Amino acid sequence: MTYYEDPSPGTGALAPRAAFRSDARTLSLNGDWDFRLFPTVAHAEAADADEGTADGWEKLPVPSHWALHGHDAPQYTNIRYPFPVDPPRVPTENPTGDHRLVFDLPDDWPGPDEGADGRTLLRFDGVESCYRVRLNGRELGTAKGSRLPHEFDTGPHLLRRGNVLSVRVHQWSSGSYVEDQDMWWLAGIFRGVTLLHRPEGAVRDVFVHAGYDHRTGHGTLRVDAVPAAGRVTVPELGLTLATGETVTVPGVQPWSAEVPRLYEAQLATDGERVPLRLGFRTVAVEDGVITVNGRPLLLRGVNRHEFHPDHGRAVPYATMREDVLLMKRHNINAVRTSHYPPDPAFLDLCDEFGLWVIDEADLETHGFTYDDWRGNPADDPAWEEALIDRAARMVERDKNHPSVIMWSLGNESGTGRNLAAMSRWIRDRDPDRLIHYEGDRSCEHTDVYSRMYASHEEVEAIGRRAEQPLDDPRLDARRRALPFIQCEYAHAMGNGPGGLTEYQRLFETYERLQGGFVWEWIDHGLRARDAAGRPYFAYGGDFGEPLHDGNFCADGLLFPDRTPSPGLLEYKKVVEPVGICVDAAARTVRVTNKYDVVDLAGLAFGWSREVEGRRVAEGALEVPPLAPGESAEVALAEAGSVAEDDGEEWWTVRAVLADDTAWAPAGHEVAWGQARARGPAATRTPGARITPVRASSADGGALTLGPGTFDPLDGSLRTLHGLHVAVPPRLNVYRATTDNDRGPDEETSVAAQWHRHALDRMRHRCDGVTVDGESLVVTARVAPPGGFFGLCVVYRWTGERTSDGTRLDLSVDITPDGEWPCPLPRLGVALGIRAPLDWIEWYGGGPGESYPDTRRAARIGRWATTVDGFQTPYVFPQENGSRGDVRWAELRGPDGGGLRIEGRPAFALTARRWTTGQLEAARHPADLVPDEVLHLDLDAAHHGIGTASCGPGVLAPYELRATRTRLGVGFTLPR
């Protein structure tokens, strides 16, 4: 069998070892290489004779994926293999990229011609999926394991000048069968290539064991090295020890994600000095709970794929750092490196800034699920060596990172003997960390019970240690005693995820539940341009792939360009490490420290009072430095009493960083709480009523009511305060379905029900237009074609003249008729105004969007933005941008004119330059071409969001059922 098809991990690579820097020479070979792509391996082999020529070569940057540089194209599949499943064989159509670099050694590079001073290795940090390395025509070896390092000894083949390094990379190999992760298939040399000098007496490998005993406050330290003879110094601790020697270190500060205390150390041997960063910490499961340094953890995590919209998985260092900073700033304390070991520099950043890490092996065989896992490499002895190699290369490389607290065997690979063997291998090599794998429900080979997308109900049962038993009583008893995490939950695809608050409440209630990792960190949208040259983010199918999984890869908390999505802001609020519960009536605030390790001394607290969204008073708040888990009631005495009755009043308490930290400046907001101190001004002086006027039929019979004119036939509003009403206000129940509405199942999803029952095609029947005293009353029945149910609607218009001018009020009474078979998407009025109104100011929930089950991050205040700023540009267009609890909103045009909409008492607002139908039909935001009409939805209610795109749907309290509803709004000129 060929080297790229046989299941072995390869030939010629040196045994894996720790990643470290040292004072030995290194030379980065990153840069522009020669490149040519062949459609098959045979084509590449046929071209071998002209390896040294200039024929057909182009330039390609290393690291990179060739498909992102105009050669071939990316392809996205989730679970299905994009080729016939016949392991370990791969298709003849196997894009094969030859990479070539001609390089000289620096003049002062030791050896190779001056004899015996050590040797020179060639290291590849990541090449997908299989490659063969030649130096000056001699083969150094072959390798698989895309996200793993491989080192080759250059032996006698390295020249001082004119080295020709040839790397042949195959897109498909046996390795592809064990790398079926849900992501773009992107081949290439996508991580760095380095030449390493290894002097005589160099360190081959080093393994730091730095523990912490929370009972004594002492650290323990042992540094194992190969070869064994070396000295370790830790100047800050005044320590010198021999490698292999164990010492107790009194009074060290332990490492944690909250206080990532690192001690600089050095390992010195005859040939080399290796800087080390020590983090003293001990990971354990005690009484069924994961602890670090004796403290139970609550993981507020995310799953992070490596992704950049231009570079794919060749993520620049600055971007990795940005990821870590963004996580820290959004109260995230943990990362699962789904589903492969990340670039090693990312783990350095986790050590430095403080994140708990589950480091996952580069293993997924998910596609075998479609044949009931028959032939699964995870259970076939022919693959044992490959799988152990994947475990070993991860553990060896990353074993010195204090941030890594768990090793994960891989993702979605069924069960089998090779997983068991990986677990045994890891336990033997590194007994000091926990082992994770979600795919084996029995947990036989793991230390934590882990699930993905379990419902709230099931998570609660697990929290009570009352889950459904396993068949095997011994395994069941063992599992029941294990701590629990959700390694994936809250699928952040499109608008959402909903239900975070309810999960977090469970995590905070049951000690067994130690948190989870939202799926996932970032949308995998690749920057592209459409035929008209408009930029957009591409997802599956956009490159013409015959087999793909569409936008299922756009399911992150960040948009592809790393703009935080509303989901990330919601998550930040839900997992905030300080509970702030304001009681305006009692004039107190209850503050709870939800950190795992630190007290609250690092935070500064402040209060403010806002009347109608305007801050009228503020001050600092003294909060005791509560220890983790402690709460205190703090008086808000200084906040005084409520102001004069000139409007609604809210009290806000915020916790911000007291001082600059490595990841955010002083003043960065960590947590907040808000409570209403007083309702809106009790009375509004009523103005004089205006009565409807019907013009004579000679004048078209138009109806006028104060600032509004109406169609006499069906009572629809034509003009409003002089603005042209292009779409008269009418009841609307539909929304452009979200990814979560559509769910994974086209038959049973709530969107399927809406379409089956034609809620996207509601018909409006006008039953009468009457003048009833001072009101204009329009009655109607709104119902779907074919439906035996509907909504009876009474629109009642009244007019008023006040000191500020005239106003038009609309009250809409909605009464369900017949049996409604499904929830409603939304319930409100939609209207369209033909006017260049571009600026929106509102008092209500903001600044971002919110829906019934995603509204924690919205606070009551006064906000303003443009119509563009009112949109959330989901990679796949869908319902977005609704601002909840709006008391009033003002829409203004460039000339200052406009409209003010007041809620009775409040409504949810969306404002867009396209219709719901256009939004639903769009495939990319660039498809949405603004028209001259501003389309508004003034909603009384919305159906929740949920996370049915992968996981539970909308929880019962957030379902929108047809019930009697009243919506009241008033229209005036802006103040």
Is 364 assigned a catalytic role?
no
Q: Which is nearer to ligand IPT, 317 or 370 (CB)?
A: 370
Between 411 and 592, CB nearer to ligand IPT? 411
Binding string to ligand IPT for residues 470 to 489, with x set by CB under 6 A, is what? Answer: ------------------x-
Quote the tokens at residue 590.
């209850």
Query: 151, 384, 467, 488: which one is catalytic?
Result: 488
Name the strand (E) or helix (H) holding 41: helix 41-46
Nearest approach in angstroms of CB 76 to ligand IPT is 11
Strands 356-360, 334-336: pairing kind: parallel
Q: What is the DSSP string of 66-88?
A: GGGGTSS--EEESSS-SS--BTT
DSSP reduced 3-state for 458: helix
Q: Which of 206, 670, 950, 967 binds ligand IPT (CB under 6 A)?
A: 950
365/593 with CB nearer ligand IPT: 365
> What's the closest the beta carbon of residue 927 comes to ligand IPT, in angstroms?
24
Judged by CB, which is closer to ligand IPT: 277, or 742? 742
Tell me the C-alpha to C-alpha distance, in Å, between residue 229 and each of 21, 24, 225, 270, 802.
18, 17, 7, 9, 91
Binding mask 336-355 for ligand IPT (x = CB under 6 A): ---x----------------
Residue tagged 């060749």 (tokens): 314
Quick one: which of 974, 888, 903, 891 has its CA closest to 940? 903
Nearer to ligand IPT, 177 or 519 (CB): 519
CA neighbor of 564 nearest in space, from 575, 553, 572: 572
Shortest distance, CB of residue 488 to ligand IPT, whole angstroms? Answer: 6
Name the token pair of 36.
């040519």
Q: Is 403 helix (H, G, I), strand (E, B) or coil?
A: coil
3-state secondary structure of 895: coil
Handedness of CA 480, 481, 485, 488 (dihedral sign): negative
Q: Is 648 in the site for ligand IPT (CB under 6 A)?
A: no
Displacement of CA 805 from its chain's centroid (Å): 48
Supply the DSSP symbol for 517: E
Say how far apart CA 281 and CA 254 lie, in whole Å.
Answer: 6
CB of 540 to ligand IPT, least distance (A): 12
User: Cβ of residue 552: shortest distance to ligand IPT, in angstroms?
Assistant: 6
**CA atoms of 846 and 887, how far apart (whole Å):** 12
* Least Cβ distance, residue 323 to ligand IPT (angstroms): 18
- Please say which residue, 394 or 554, places its beta carbon nearer to ligand IPT: 554
Q: Which of 306, 384, 412, 520 is catalytic?
A: 412
> Which one-letter amino acid corresponds to residue 530?
D
Which class for 58: exposed (0-12), middle (13-18), buried (19 or more C-beta within 10 A)? middle
737: nearest Cα among 928, 874, 870, 934: 874
Query: In the set 396, 555, 879, 885, which binds ligand IPT (CB under 6 A)?
Result: 555
Structure tokens at 24: 């030995």
The distance of closest approach from Cβ of residue 673 to ligand IPT in the complex, given in angstroms and rounded to an integer, is 33
User: Vertex 443, ends 440 and 448: CA angle to 5°?
Assistant: 115
Q: Based on CB atoms, which residue is closest to ligand IPT, 455 or 779?
A: 455
Residue 737 within binding range of ligand IPT, rule CB under 6 A: no
Among 180, 272, 359, 412, binds ligand IPT (CB under 6 A): 412
Site for ligand IPT in 382-411 (CB under 6 A): 411
Nearer Cβ to ligand IPT (98/520): 520
Smaller CB separation from ligand IPT, 308 or 491: 491
- Considering only residues 487 through 526, tell me which ones interact with ligand IPT, judged by CB under 6 A: 488, 491, 519
Whose Cβ is closer to ligand IPT: residue 515's or residue 951's? Answer: 951
Interface pick for ligand IPT out of 19, 44, 62, 452 (rule CB under 6 A): 452
Torsion (CA) 916, 917, 922, 927 in degrees, nearest 10: -80
> Closest separation between CB of residue 182 and ligand IPT, Å?
3
Q: Which residue number is nearest to ligand IPT in terms of Cβ? A: 182
Please tell me whether residue 671 adopts helix, strand or coil conformation: strand
Residue 79 CB, shortest distance to ligand IPT, in Å, is: 7
How many other CB atoms are there within 10 angstroms of residue 107's CB atom? 6
Distance of CA 734 to the CA centre of its chain: 28
| SS3 category, 792 | strand
Strand, coil or helix: 970: strand
Nearer to ligand IPT, 367 or 416 (CB): 367
Interface with ligand IPT in residues 178-217 (CB under 6 A): 182
Site for ligand IPT in 156-185 (CB under 6 A): 182
Two tokens, residue 168: 């042949």
Strand partners, 672: 654
3-state secondary structure of 212: strand
Q: Please identify, using beta-carbon distances, which residue of 131 and 552 lies nearer to ligand IPT.
A: 552
Residues binding ligand IPT: number (CB under 6 A): 13
Q: The sheet that has 263-268: what strands, in order across it?
A: 239-242, 231-234, 263-268, 273-278
Min separation Cβ 491 and ligand IPT, Å: 6
Q: In the bound complex, what is the minimum distance in angstroms from residue 374's beta carbon to ligand IPT?
A: 18
Nearer to ligand IPT, 262 or 358 (CB): 358
Q: What is the closest distance, in whole angstroms, from the C-beta atom of residue 555 to ligand IPT in the complex? A: 5
SS3 of residue 332 by DSSP:
coil
* Contact pattern for ligand IPT over residues 789 through 828, marking x by CB under 6 A: ----------------------------------------
Alpha carbon distances (Å) from 296 to 330, 416, 443, 626, 781 = 21, 31, 21, 17, 58
- What the block records as the tokens of 640 is 């005084």
Fill in the amino acid letter for 739: D
Rounded CA-CA distance 711/780 in Å is 15
**Strand pairing partners for 33?**
60
774 is catalytic: no
The answer to whether residue 78 forms part of the interface with ligand IPT (CB under 6 A) is yes
Q: How far is the CB of 431 from ligand IPT (least distance, A)?
A: 27
Binding track, positions 906-945, relative to ligand IPT; x by CB under 6 A: ----------------------------------------
User: Which DSSP state fits 743?
Assistant: -
Do β-strands 356-360 and 404-408 pair in parallel, antiparallel, or remain unpaired? parallel
Structure tokens given for 866: 């443009």
Amino acid at 832: G
Given the rule CB under 6 A, which residues bind ligand IPT?
Answer: 78, 182, 339, 411-412, 452-453, 488, 491, 519, 552, 555, 950
Which residues belong to the active site? 412, 488
